[in-house]
Chain A
């Protein structure tokens, strides 16, 4: 029984690793406007609610979305849509490296990955999903991997951000499999807690995000 559980963990970890090892990011199909030449309006206030980190400790989400610029994306760890969660992970990963090389930005920006599948994405699963990227005690860019304890805690956050998620059953590969149908949305949040940009797959690129971060910084 213990062996079976260990195997399951290994298989899950292998799946997660595969999700991260993807093709290079697609090139941006346009030259984005230079930082500071456009305005990022306040779209809405980022909602607040209770979340848990990889250590299982409950915290308010606002703890991770105030005093600094936050890039927040919803994911679920078993997502395999190449234009969905894996894309967000890859973009965040590139941003982590780019921001890490910018001492002027590194301390001002944080990344937050929040699961919308609390039933499967426990703090332990989120820790595994994070791998070595999990917050590294202040030496690099802060990247927090969060989940919630229940759908009841999650729903107000989804509603507040306008992240639409539906549970569907995929029967295309024989065995029925529960999937979470969603459109990738990543939220840029200013230090006052206002959403200033919402990225879908077409605009979610390290160049556009870095320009937007720089635009917010110049305000």
Chain B
């Protein structure tokens, strides 16, 4: 255990020579199973939740709509954006169960913005701001927005008291009224940290992962990695919950900040994967022969000594493949997941100087990539590319088919993505 801690510390110190790190989640195969109207054909839009940058455009966080239908005259172009009037470290977003609204939040405070995407999917409209998360729960930095029937489950990253990593989840109804909160467990081996969550309702299981608190994620990375004490404050656990009761059932040790969680959507499968950012490992969470949930390391992503920093994953709808974006080396990797006990990297390509989120269409033929991790963790100078890039994937080669330069377009830093369609217009 001590040796593992030393190894981890060495790996973390290697980060000093880089200027970045990141996190994220997206795409059509990662939505909550309660989200209706999956886009199984050609998507029309990619919505990008972008961080405002001082001096770039209006400088505010904004939801940007981009036309991604190749048959459209404005293919690959920005259709519009809706700014929220503040710069608040825009990060992630999620659909309500009826897919009529997107909830999006920032990590600098506890505000949540609700956008109507059903009245006109080409022109999202800001319809509500929820500002009571901190007061109601003491949580800070809403991160994951996961639809439950008629409700939204929000996973936070931090807390308002000490701005550390101990945090919890909150549930709102779809109208934006607060219902309840659930702290992340701090007993039985729990570190109290949170990051992503994902459910398998057929087994009544919810999994959560863990990252770090405001004190770390808002701090310039160059300073952070020199602070050995601060670097200890990263999550190293996952939790299996009784979804119905919303109670923790089992806590797993998963060192190195396990981030995005993806359940296999293949009928009959009962397992999920995650990637630990700091240790560059893929973990499998699956019941053993006795039905007991277990987490085990099953693959390595790149060379962990070089800290590639896996920041987002996207699973194929049949559970047979996994895209992994590694921020530091700007590389997009594909793992064959035919045997989830032993994923194998079968393809890799440098897709940017820094890459964070990766989303794929339902059929897997189109892949979208964005660039920003966190405002203070993105790279500097010429390496600070900010983009949405669209790729085609034929099973052998990723080919870039368009790019939107977010700096040139005065939009800021491109982070989380969600797919949209004209067919989702409310009738």
Contact = CB atoms under 8 A, between A and B. Distances in A.
A164 B36 contact: yes
Interface string B160-182: 00000000000101110101100
Interface residues of B, number: 29
A38 B245 contact: yes
A166 interface: yes
Interface stretch (B197-205, B311-319, B387-395): B197-205
A44 interface: yes
A32 interface: yes
Nearest to B118: A164
Nearest to B270: A29
A33 B204 CA distance: 10
Contacts of B175: 44
B246 A29 contact: no
B117 to A, nearest CB: 13
Interface residues of A, number: 25
Contacts, number: 63
A103 B201 CA distance: 32
Nearest to B204: A30
Interface string A1-37: 0000000000000000000000000000110110001
B295 to A, nearest CB: 19
A166 B149 contact: no
Nearest to B424: A166
A183 interface: yes
A29 B427 CA distance: 36
Interface string B20-43: 000000000000011010000000
A37 B247 CA distance: 10
Given A41-B180, A44-B150, A185-B150, A208 B203 contact: no
B423 to A, nearest CB: 10
A41 B179 contact: yes
B242 A33 contact: yes
Contact of A166 (B97, B177, B201, B427): B427
23 contacts: A29-B202, A30-B203, A30-B205, A32-B204, A33-B242, A33-B244, A38-B247, A41-B179, A43-B151, A43-B173, A44-B175, A162-B150, A164-B36, A166-B426, A166-B427, A183-B97, A185-B150, A195-B150, A198-B150, A200-B201, A202-B33, A203-B201, A208-B244
Given A37-B245, A38-B247, 7 more contacts: A29-B203, A33-B244, A33-B247, A42-B179, A43-B179, A164-B98, A198-B150
